[in-house]
Amino acid sequence: MNAFKLEEVGTKSEKFKTPKSCCLPYGSLERALGKEEREDLNKLFKQLNDANDIITVDKLHLQLAKEFSELLETETANKVIEEYVHEIKEFLSSASALIAVRSSSNIEDLKKLSGAGLFDSILNVIASDEKGIADAIRNVWKSLYSKRAIQSRFKYRINQEYAAMGILVQEMILSDYSFIIHTSNPVIIQITHR
């Protein structure tokens, strides 16, 4: 796991505190699945990429979702997830009682597709609940292959194999402000604006 600290952001005169956070980077899911198991999924990804209609995509989604869910319950996956849970608990030991387990996919903010809300994030996970953290990790990963995610990739002709999912784990805090940052104008798709 790549844990990182991001406790203060801003200039010297205008700093604000951020929640304690850590992440499971891209590749964490693949490690949990194992190489041979990933090969089985690649066959389904190829069929999805070659599909010509949404009915075929939906049928393949059902098969992929079932196989993927089963893979996340294998001994290999359970062992890797258990390691991640231990590291998360250790890193966030001084965090508040609740954490957010948030999706972070490489296909969320593309030029032609905003994937905001496409994947699941799990809020109000009890920081001391190992099973709750493990279940939240699995559910975020499963959202990479949800019906709506697969249909979106089909619609925009995004290679299914290209999709990756990292996870951001943050302590939940009571805040005075919260916000998101747009790096381009979402209405007129303008990259540079002043």
pLDDT score recorded for residue 192: 58
pLDDT score recorded for residue 3: 44
DSSP per-residue string spanning 7-34: -EEE-SSSEEE---EEEE-TTHHHHHH-
32 belongs to a structural domain: yes
Give CA 49 to chain center in angstroms. 21
pLDDT score recorded for residue 95: 60
Helix (H, G, I), strand (E, B) or coil at 144: helix
Does the reported pTM lie above 0.85?
A: no
181 belongs to a structural domain: no
Segments forming the whole domain that contains residue 34? 8-171
Look at the chain and report how many structural domains it folds into. 1
Cβ neighbours of 109 (radius 10 Å): 13
pLDDT score recorded for residue 1: 47
81 belongs to a structural domain: yes
28 belongs to a structural domain: yes
Cβ neighbours of 178 (radius 10 Å): 6
* Strand partners of residue 24: 167
CATH code of residue 153 = 3.30.1490.20
Tokens standing for residue 113: 């597709």
CB of 126 closer than 8 Å to CB of 132: yes
pLDDT score recorded for residue 185: 63
138 belongs to a structural domain: yes
**pLDDT tens digits, the chain, 194 residues: what are they?**
444 445 545 555 566 667 888 999 999 999 999 877 778 888 999 999 999 999 999 999 999 999 999 999 999 999 999 999 999 988 887 666 899 999 999 988 787 777 778 899 999 999 889 999 999 999 999 999 999 999 999 998 999 888 999 999 998 887 777 766 666 665 665 555 45
pLDDT score recorded for residue 80: 95
CB of 19 closer than 8 Å to CB of 177: no
152 belongs to a structural domain: yes
184 belongs to a structural domain: no
148 belongs to a structural domain: yes
